[in-house]
Chains A and B, each alone.
Chain A
Amino acid sequence: MKLQGSVHKYGDNVDTDVIIPARYLNTFDAAELARHCLEDLDPSFAGNVKPGDVILAGKNFGCGSSREHAPLAIKASGVCCVVAQSFARIFFRNALNIGLPVLECPGAVSLAESGDRLEIDIEAGTIVNPATGASVQAAPYTGFILELIQAGGLVARLRRNAEQRRK
């Protein structure tokens, strides 16, 4: 899976409360959530984000609440991939479960600034900044997690398996 898009860069410990504040959790309509994505951290994000964009962040991205509304809001806002130095674990599994690609890569933060473009190969784990030629390598996914990503999430995988059993 090869992706590319322009970067929105944030720091460490971006928590799920700022990704989607609780005052909007009385709905799980993805488009509605996307309108408020990252509102308490970067009020301009929802207006600026374009389909295919990439979020690049520091340590512990997605810490805090288990609200799946957080990766859902990011996915619905058009972001194709979140690259971070590290992820909080519930956000990480939620993102994979709903089919939002995420890549953990300690060296990625220095690769680009907001507005730069990044090219990402999810299967290979490579992240390249074509303007500078710089690249970093994340540990590639294997086994069950790779299946999850390739299927586009847990539900798609469960349904696919169920269909295969029926055949």
Chain B
Amino acid sequence: MPMTMTQKILAAHAGRESVTPGDLIQAACDLVLGNDITAPPAVAVFRQIGTARVFDRTKIALVMDHFTPNKDIKSAEQCKTVRDFAREQQIVHFYEGGGAGVEHVILPEKGLVGAGDLVIGADSHTCTYGALGAFSTGVGSTDMAAGMASGRCWFKVPEALRFELEGKLPPDVGGKDVILSIIGRIGVEGASYKSMEFGGPGLASLTMDDRLTMANMAIEAGAKNGIFEVDDITREYLRSTGAKSRLEFRPDKDAVYAETFRIDLSAMKSVVALPSSPANVHPAEAVGQIPVDQVVIGSCTNGRINDFRIAARILKGRKAAPGLRLIILPGSQLVYAQALEEGLLAIFLEAGAVIGPPTCGPCLGGHMGVLAKGESAVATTNRNFVGRMGHPESFVYLAGPAVAAATAVLGRIAGPSALPGR
């Protein structure tokens, strides 16, 4: 039976020769992730299950990133619950304060996920690690608790959609533009219950940061996971982070896909997803005059060093438009330090930006940039649902760092080509 990449990883972790779409399996987890919102309920469920110890204290990651630095007393209590649990269970990978950052930025950085791994996380964007050739998917707190107790999780083996990437991205166009364009094409349910498998000659022109951005948003098409074929760029990245596992699974030549899409990267444009759906995608140059109150660059989607390099290239020598609030949130301490060293933070300060600590913050309307009634923001995040960044009558436009930076300068939504001198 020929298999896709996802099917091969699931079969290997279920101890089976092969699996077929629709099979219900129990599979072993290489890593179980939770954050400051989802881990507290998981700790409570873990107690209910009644297991004394976690299955493996080195295979659990707890990252305090959503409402941190703690925005209020309740959030502080939630973190304390997790901290106490981590101490009691001697969890090796507990991250908070200056050791933390946005979960999906820091886990790959720290080499905690490698190719061929099976990862579950009580966070829907756990699918990010597919960029590394891993099977990773979002689950809830109960699954996380059961995972911490038993090291296992139940799955229905998904069918797959194949995305055959061709050509090379034009300048100023990045992974965010590609994935938004794909979601615009297939819709928010276009990959429901399925795996999105990315491969083809076009891979070579996508940086690891581009791929992480793309895999991150697979869930926005309803997918169970997004996964990239492993190539030299993956191998080099995994070497640099010291990731332990580097088991490469390749899809069989005759693997069966529910559908195959050819994506010509050279035809990609700077795009924006208008409220309130990540599938409401339009070319940045075609949206007309949309004034914006705030621009946020950061998050698990676009909070990595390349994202800030791209934004800095555009913001260099320019200023944020009068009255527009530009918020920069590096995704991790490492990204922060790198941006500092490369002089990017100086460029942002000069442009009038507020630079915050690594946190999810405004992405989920938590803190550090919540919107008032009637306000609009361009954000490099992944969701523009009603009320996502604050008031139910505020508006979020999703874009990559290039569009976000150009928008910050012009005070209205625009691609970088709209800037004078570019």
Contact = CB atoms under 8 A, between A and B. Distances in A.
A26 B142 contact: no
Contacts of B189: 13, 59-60, 63, 86, 88
Given A60-B189, A60-B222, A89-B192, A66 B45 contact: no
B386 A67 contact: no
Interface in A16-44: 17-18, 21-23, 25-28, 40-41
A133 interface: no
B4 to A, nearest CB: 17
A13 B188 contact: yes
Contact of A17 (B49, B146, B383): B383
A88 B277 CA distance: 15
A159 interface: yes
B50 A159 contact: yes
Interface centre among A27, A65, A94 (most CB of B within 10 A): A65
Interface stretch (B5-13, B36-44, B332-340): B36-44
B261 interface: no
B24 A162 contact: no
Contacts, number: 132
A27 B387 CA distance: 19
25 contacts: A15-B383, A17-B386, A17-B388, A21-B387, A22-B366, A25-B37, A27-B78, A40-B392, A63-B189, A64-B385, A65-B364, A65-B383, A66-B121, A66-B123, A67-B38, A67-B140, A71-B140, A72-B41, A90-B124, A90-B139, A90-B219, A97-B140, A158-B146, A159-B49, A159-B50
A82 interface: no
A71 B41 CA distance: 13
B412 interface: no
Interface centre among A17, A64, A89, A154 (most CB of B within 10 A): A89
A69 interface: yes
Interface centre among B122, B142, B193 (most CB of A within 10 A): B142
B231 to A, nearest CB: 28
Given A18-B387, A98-B140, 5 more contacts: A23-B365, A72-B41, A97-B143, A97-B146, A159-B49
| Interface bracket on A | 35 or more
B24 A143 contact: yes
A99 to B, nearest CB: 9
Given A18-B385, A60-B189, A153-B142, A68 B78 contact: no
A64 B309 CA distance: 29
A153 to B, nearest CB: 7
A159 B124 CA distance: 26
B74 interface: yes
Interface in B25-46: 37-38, 40-41, 44-45
Contacts of B41: 28, 68-69, 72
A93 B193 CA distance: 11
A155 interface: yes
Interface in A54-79: 59-60, 63-69, 71-72
B289 interface: no
A40 B386 contact: yes
Nearest to A43: B392
A63 B219 CA distance: 9
A71 B38 CA distance: 13
A63 B72 CA distance: 28
B280 to A, nearest CB: 11
Which 6 pairs across A and B sit closest by C-beta, in order of nearness?
Answer: A94-B140, A26-B74, A68-B140, A97-B142, A66-B124, A22-B364
